[in-house]
Amino acid sequence: MKFFISTITIAVINLILVEYTSGHGMMLSPPGRSSRWRFDSSAPINYNDNENFCGGFGVQYGPNGGKCGLCGDDYAQPTPRDNELGGKYGGNGVIVQTFEDTYTAVIGFKITANHMGHLSYNLCDLDEFKEESEECFAKYTLKFADGSDKFYVGNTIGLIDTTVVLPSGLSCNHCVLRATYTAGNNWGVCENGVGAMGCGNQEMFKSCADIRIVAPNSKKMSASETVYEAIPDV
């Protein structure tokens, strides 16, 4: 009997460690740094812009110990990583969209291969923090219209438009909007110790977009402050 139980335990552990499949997705509205080329011919091209998955499940939860680059790159990449400011796709942080005189923003994330899970969004105010960091992104976790900070995607494939509430009174000449798609189709151990689908380590995708926010009733930008914007038509 002990041998039988041990065999089952080992099988479950192996399932948790090695059985996973790959979803794919990217933020298109506003366009993430790897996707800007789809709307701006001057931007560097990344045909794999739906694969900012932290180096892949095995890399993220293997040698990288669960860590991910700020904007979806392999954590082990030398900094600045490809999708970070100063990197191959992050570059100088071209502002792709301005949200002006609005309390909410509609964000479009395209899922090209669905593996359930949820979407979440964070905002980093570079005017305040000066550089991207997890601390910066952690300050503003954006809420959806229903007050939650997670949007469960179900079995949807294609563009998912969601409305998020912008931080009250926040204006920024340069903010970074980060989308995170956390898949939910891997089997793992939940916080209560029970194994279930969607618990434990899951594949993650991140997209970062450079935006500007002009809060309602705040001073409008002057013409000299206006920069090129690549606003997608999706």
- Domain ranges for the chain, please list them: 21-225
pLDDT on residue 14: 35
Both structure tokens of 147: 């007050």
Residues 6 or more apart whose CB falls under 8 angstroms from that of 147 comprise none
User: Which of 21-25, 41-45, 200-204 has the least mean pLDDT?
Assistant: 21-25
pLDDT on residue 92: 97
Question: Residue 15 — pLDDT band, cuts 50, 70, 90?
Answer: very low
Q: Which of 16, 72, 21 is nearest to 48 (CA)?
A: 72
For residue 64, give the DSSP letter: T
The tens digit of pLDDT for each residue in 157-190 reads: 999 999 999 999 999 999 999 999 999 989 989 8
Both structure tokens of 40: 């701006």
- Alpha-carbon gap, residue 201 to 193, rounded angstroms: 14
Q: Considering the domain 21-225, what is its CATH architecture? A: Distorted Sandwich (2.70)
Give me the sign of the Cα torsion angle 166, 169, 173, 175.
negative
SS3 38: helix
Tell me: pLDDT of 191 over 90. Answer: no
pLDDT on residue 219: 62
- Alpha-carbon gap, residue 189 to 201, rounded angstroms: 9
Task: Tell me how crowded residue 80 is: count the other CB atoms within 10 A of its CB.
Answer: 19
- Alpha-carbon gap, residue 83 to 104, rounded angstroms: 26
CA angle 163, 85, 65 (to 5 degrees): 85
pLDDT on residue 220: 52
Task: Tell me how crowded residue 137 is: count the other CB atoms within 10 A of its CB.
Answer: 23
pLDDT on residue 190: 86
